[in-house]
Amino acid sequence: MKRLTPVILGMILSGSLLGLVSCRQQESPPAPPEDRMDWWRQDRFGMFIHWGLYSIPAGEWNGETHYGEWIRSSAQIPLDVYDQFRDQFNPVDFDAQEWVKMAREAGMKYIVITSKHHDGFCLWDSEFTDFDVMSTPFRRDILAELKKACDREGIRLCFYHSIMDWHHPDYLPGRDWEKDRSEEGADFDRYVRHMKSQLRELIDHYGPLGILWFDGEWESTWNHQRGRDLYDYVRGLQPDIIINNRVDVGREGSMAGFSREGEFAGDYGTPEQEVPATGFPGVDWETCMTMNDHWGYNKNDQNWKSSTDLIRMLTDIASKGGNLLLNVGPTARGTFPEESISRLRDIGRWMSVNSEAIYGTHASPFPYLPWGRCTVKETAGGTRLYLSVFNWPADGRLKVPGLYNDPRKAYLLGDPGQKKLNFNRSADSVIIDVPVQCPDTVNTVVVLEIEGQPDVNIPPAIIADSDIFVDTLFVTMKTERNDAVIRYTLDGVPPTLSSPVAENLLALTRTATVMARCYRNDQPVSSIASRTFTQVEPERSTPVPDPSGGIWSSYYEGDWNTVPDFKGMKSLRKEAASRIKDLEGNQTENYAMHFRGWIQIPRTGIYTFTVSSDDGSQLLINGRIIADNDGLHGMIEKSGQCALSGGFHAIEVRFFEKTGSDELKAFVEGPGVVRQEIPEGMLFH
């Protein structure tokens, strides 16, 4: 598997499930009652289901056992061979009511199922194709049965729908390895009309739907105009439907899931297999996550996340203001794997006691909690903090650090009688007396009710475009704390009550370490923030006599796990390319590319370079690695900065692809240059 409001640039994602950083997100103003996102923000937890013909080979082909729902492409299965799975699809044990019941009992509020994945097979009775469930021995409309069961159990039905389609003759581009399938006569516009007809069919026959969850937008035939048009088309069919951001092409990287700056269509971000390290003000997002390593059923994949990890992950995501869409890959017989069922039951047991700490909550106000996470709800005249404790205090004293509000009441969420827990204040911390014996070693929720909105010890934000500069750098300092002022210094000495107040934009013309602290009523009410800004000399440009447009591209074949050095290696093909990207004619796996040439920098300043790739890549300027995206991974991006003089500078991009999808993009941003793929006009050889 491969509109956001604020745009998060340079975000860092963490795959850690059990890290102890609980990150703060300032909530946007309450949405009006008619906001179609209200239910989604309230529900917080859904089930993803990847099911189709790929469940039949169960991840295995020609002795290889690592495949999933991408098996037709990854294993390069010819169409006529893959089509034979249709004659074998007969999930006689499928019980829609049982599936939906398991989701409900796990505390899930909505289900997103693959109406059509990239292979083009449809799980419903479609009048627009024979490549659907009614052409199988099963001959039952799976989506119709799920719709009926969801309505009965009070679960919202939603569909994942692939823009990409490896089966339809009009879909472009075709697979490079399918030499026997010609693209002659294919009409992509005709395919889009077909896709729209099927989407209308889904909404008319199975709606109203909660979400249309698009995917497969990264190929060259899809663009922003098509994404905006499809978004508007679907909203025209059902105005209150929610649509993810993969309808458009704005994602920073396939895994990161957040959209770049610009008016890209889509209602929320979709980080995949990762949990953002921080929350994001005003941004709706949902992490989609597998229980093991595959989306579609793989009988050999036993790398299951524990129930503890999954429960803490759900809490972690809610504490950052997001939703969790947790995947199940059913078997070819139509049953959930027993490992999935046992984990759903464990999550359900925890949710039956603690769901109040998940549903309808907002992100944590705390930048860090050493023992767990926090979610928040507003109450009459105050706030309820749900303190999810992963690491129980051995001395029975739970310290809530940096909280200035007056406590009202504390109790265990799992205590039906809500017996009051004693608490006291120590400086800027509240200490709650909890039982010495931990009630739930996975996650015990302690409720702390406080006066007013949370007032937490959060240092000011020191904001600038870069940590390095050439001539002048503008710095701002901000806090969202009520009735607080920021005092700062520029020499690395902690600020005091006599330090200047940060009121205006600060212009730095020399290296400085900015330190800032919040004060209220002449008393410090935050820790100290610090950031060093370094004035640097720009790297000199190099005279390049009579340059030609484009950049040298060399192509290699081999098996690598990291970016190769290329020194002494003989390329199979060398040519001048107009852009730094994966080129036509490459094989789809086990190859590498090396781009070398010159980039013309328009004027002196700080430039940001980014490489986005699947698998690894590196971007070098003047022989120095600026953006390092090496290793085996999905589509992610890495950035770096350097100071450059106007003129020509040596640029080099190294890239390798092992298996799976392959893609490479390189971006530049700097003075007078908005972030964009490095254009042809800047590259020379």
Confidence band, pLDDT 50/70/90 cuts, at residue 256:
low
Confidence band, pLDDT 50/70/90 cuts, at residue 588:
confident
| pLDDT, average across residues 587-596 | 89
- Give the tens place of pLDDT for each residue, 155-184: 999 999 999 999 999 999 999 889 888 999
- Structure confidence at residue 539 (pLDDT): 97
Write the CB contacts of 446 (distance below 8 Å, at least 6 apart in sequence).
386, 387, 389, 398, 410, 411, 412, 413, 421, 432, 434
In a domain, 659, yes or no: yes
- Structure confidence at residue 363 (pLDDT): 96
Dihedral sign computed on CA atoms, order 572, 575, 580, 585 = negative
- Structure confidence at residue 8 (pLDDT): 34
CATH number at residue 503: 2.60.40
Q: Are 157 and 287 in a shared domain? A: yes
- Give the tens place of pLDDT for each residue, 461-502: 999 999 999 999 999 999 988 889 999 999 999 999 999 999
Measuring CA to CA, which residue among 268, 197, 247 is closest to residue 43?
268
For residues 426-450, one letter each, b for 16 or more C-beta atoms within 10 angstroms of the residue's C-beta and e for the rest, the string is: eebebbbebeeeebbebbbbbbbbb
Q: Are 134 and 209 in a shared domain? A: yes
- Structure confidence at residue 34 (pLDDT): 53
What percentage of the chain reaches a pLDDT higher than 70?
A: 93
For residues 461 and 475, give the distance between their C-alpha atoms in angstroms, rounded to a whole number: 10
Q: Are strands 429-433 and 397-400 parallel, antiparallel or unpaired?
A: antiparallel
Confidence band, pLDDT 50/70/90 cuts, at residue 5:
very low
| pLDDT, average across residues 536-546 | 96
| pLDDT, average across residues 25-45 | 70
- Structure confidence at residue 470 (pLDDT): 97
- Give the tens place of pLDDT for each residue, 401-448: 999 999 999 999 999 999 999 999 998 999 999 999 999 999 999 999
Write the CB contacts of 644 (distance below 8 Å, at least 6 apart in sequence).
538, 539, 541, 601, 604, 605, 607, 621, 670
When divided into structural domains, the chain yields a total of: 4
In a domain, 19, yes or no: no
Q: Are 182 and 283 in a shared domain? A: yes
Measuring CA to CA, which residue among 283, 322, 292 is closest to residue 310?
292
For residues 81 and 86, give the distance between their C-alpha atoms in angstroms, rounded to a whole number: 10
Q: How far is CA 499 from the centre of its chain?
A: 41
Q: Are 415 and 470 in a shared domain? A: no
Q: Are 529 and 566 in a shared domain? A: no
Q: Of 324, 353, 382, which marks where a domain is finished?
A: 353
Q: Are 528 and 658 in a shared domain? A: no
Q: Are 493 and 570 in a shared domain? A: no
Q: Are 337 and 430 in a shared domain? A: no
The amino acid present at 565, given as its one-letter code, is D
Among 501-515, 581-595, 669-683, which is the least confidently predicted range?
A: 581-595
Cβ-based burial of 299 (10 A; exposed 0-12, middle 13-18, buried ≥19): middle
Output the average pLDDT for the chain: 92
Q: Of 298, 326, 353, which marks where a domain is finished?
A: 353
In a domain, 112, yes or no: yes
CATH number at residue 603: 2.60.120.1560
Confidence band, pLDDT 50/70/90 cuts, at residue 564:
very high
Confidence band, pLDDT 50/70/90 cuts, at residue 324:
very high
CATH number at residue 440: 2.60.40.1180
Confidence band, pLDDT 50/70/90 cuts, at residue 23:
very low
- Give the tens place of pLDDT for each residue, 262-318: 789 999 999 999 999 888 878 999 999 999 999 999 999 999 999 999 999 999 999
For residues 196 and 226, give the distance between their C-alpha atoms in angstroms, rounded to a whole number: 12
Structural domain of 668: 551-684
Confidence band, pLDDT 50/70/90 cuts, at residue 1:
very low
For residues 102-114, one letter each, b for 16 or more C-beta atoms within 10 angstroms of the residue's C-beta and e for the rest, the string is: bbbbbbbbbbbbb
CA distances from 12 to 252, 282, 325 (A): 11, 18, 20
- Give the tens place of pLDDT for each residue, 325-363: 999 999 999 999 999 999 999 999 999 999 999 999 999
Q: Of 503, 535, 567, which marks where a domain is finished?
A: 535
| Residue pair 662/588 in contact by the 8 Å Cβ criterion | yes
Q: Are strands 429-433 and 423-426 parallel, antiparallel or unpaired?
A: antiparallel
DSSP state of 165: -
